[in-house]
Structure 1
């Protein structure tokens, strides 16, 4: 893994789905309660097989310079050595194990 260019795997919950994406920049936003994610990374088209889930994400986030994710939607962030496949997974209902993390109320 090169120390100069880390890659982060970001897993977050959005509209009943779990997104697993890769980005080069992640940091706390100036907007309270949000995380900024920049420079999304998608796999190269070096294979004949195209993953429709990754292509859907690529189309959805094309032209996006920066995303602001609410902190309570973040499930996990990992610094990884290799780029994986970005994907969308259908979240299970209330009996599933994916739940938004409760947010504290901002002190006045």
Structure 2
């Protein structure tokens, strides 16, 4: 069975999730991610980032991610822990510009 690791930007954070199915979405400009995989924690140490990710996607069968938010999609041999990472000054990831004009600017006459 194929497993994919999807890394994407969401609200200034980098999300890393694992899924069994990734395809171009029916909605233009979106990547469709189905059958999310979450690592089952059998240890005493619980990663709060992984737990927050599980809570955020609880009950989600399919999610649509804007194509400009996707950083990378990898096919991997086995799943790992999903996580949410904050972007900071030392990060080498730059969000793709989301607007092409300034909304406060009035059109030239």
| Structure 1, unpaired ranges of 5+ | 104-108
Dislocated runs of 4+, deviation >6 Å: none
| Structure 2, unpaired ranges of 5+ | 99-109
Contact kept in structure 2, 1:10 and 1:77, CA below 8 Å: yes
TM-score, normalisation: structure 1:
0.83
| 2:94 aligned to which of 87, 90, 99 | 99
Residue by residue over 1:16-41, the C-alpha shift from the partner in whole angstroms, topping out at 9 and shown as x without a partner, is: 00001101110001110000001110
TM-score, normalisation: structure 2:
0.82
Residue of structure 2 equivalent to 1:88: 84
Name the CA distance, whole Å, in 2 between partners of 1:75 and 1:86: 15
Residue of structure 2 equivalent to 1:32: 28
Residue of structure 2 equivalent to 1:79: 75
Residue of structure 1 equivalent to 2:12: 16
Name the CA distance, whole Å, in 2 between partners of 1:100 and 1:60: 21
Point out the structure with max Rg over C-alpha. 2
Alpha-carbon RMSD: 1.7
Residue of structure 2 equivalent to 1:106: none
Name the CA distance, whole Å, in 1 between partners of 2:41 and 2:58: 16
Residue by residue over 1:18-72, the C-alpha shift from the partner in whole angstroms, topping out at 9 and shown as x without a partner, is: 0011011100011100000011101112222111111110011000111100000
